Copies of this chain bind each other. A is one copy, B any other.
Amino acid sequence: MKTNKTQVKRVPKRGHYDFETVAKILDAGLVCQIGFVVDGHPFVIPTAYGRMGRHLYIHGASASRMLKSLLSGIEVCLTVTLLDGLVLARSAYHHSMNYRSVVLFGTAQPVADPAEKMTALKAFTEHVMKGRWDEVRSPTKEELAATCVLSLPITEASAKIRTGPPIDAAADYDLDIWAGVVPLALKPGNPIADSRLSSHISIPKSIETYAQYGF
């Protein structure tokens, strides 16, 4: 998946081009950023997504500006970025962050077939929370029609990963300055039940598992 566009130019050793590495980062993320060009102007919009095999799916109301633009088959650049830590060096200059990111180029295509659309929506819901799809009310025909699903092949993609401690200038290692990493992770808090929820309904298995393992 290494092309001129996806090739990691800055710090090449952080670049990864295998599908498995890319898929793992996509599966660990929740929100992607979709960049596209309208009348020569750049637009970037955050949105949720799902993955099925070698395709990534996004969705939204059929009326949305973003989806209307994307439906015309324009090129997109999609990114997912997971922040793993603050890298605190002895000098301001060598401060950095630990992260896992994916950049994916392609042309999004609308999913027209209702069965494929339904499968994509399942992947979508399951991506947010595994096991949730079977617990909730499935989409009606009307809801399916009001939802626009776009598919993007995961072919022209690359991952960039930074891990580990700060890399300081040789002379700076003697300085009396604390250096290291403050890990960061997106953590789930205690579930907040909807105020209109009947008291006899307990927290389902999907959420219990999620809270336990997080990401």
A19-63 interface with B by 8 A CB criterion: 30-31, 33-37, 40-46, 48, 60-61, 63
A176 to B147, Cβ gap below 8 A?
A: no
Interface residues on A, range: 35 or more
Copy count, this protein chain = 2
The answer on a CB contact under 8 Å between B83 and A137 is no
The answer, yes or no, to whether A193 is at the interface (CB within 8 Å) is: yes
Q: Mark A130-162, 1 if CB is under 8 A from B, else 0.
A: 001101111110010001000000000000000
Give A11's nearest chain B residue, CB to CB: B61
Residues A97 and B210 in contact in the complex (CB < 8 Å), given A9-B64, A177-B136, A187-B185: no
| Smallest CB separation, A184 vs chain B (Å) | 5
Tell me, rounded to whole Å, the shortest Cβ–Cβ distance linking A76 to chain B. Answer: 6
Name the residue of chain B whose CB is nearest to the CB of A122.
B92
Q: In the complex, what's the smallest C-beta–C-beta distance from A47 to chain B, in angstroms?
A: 9
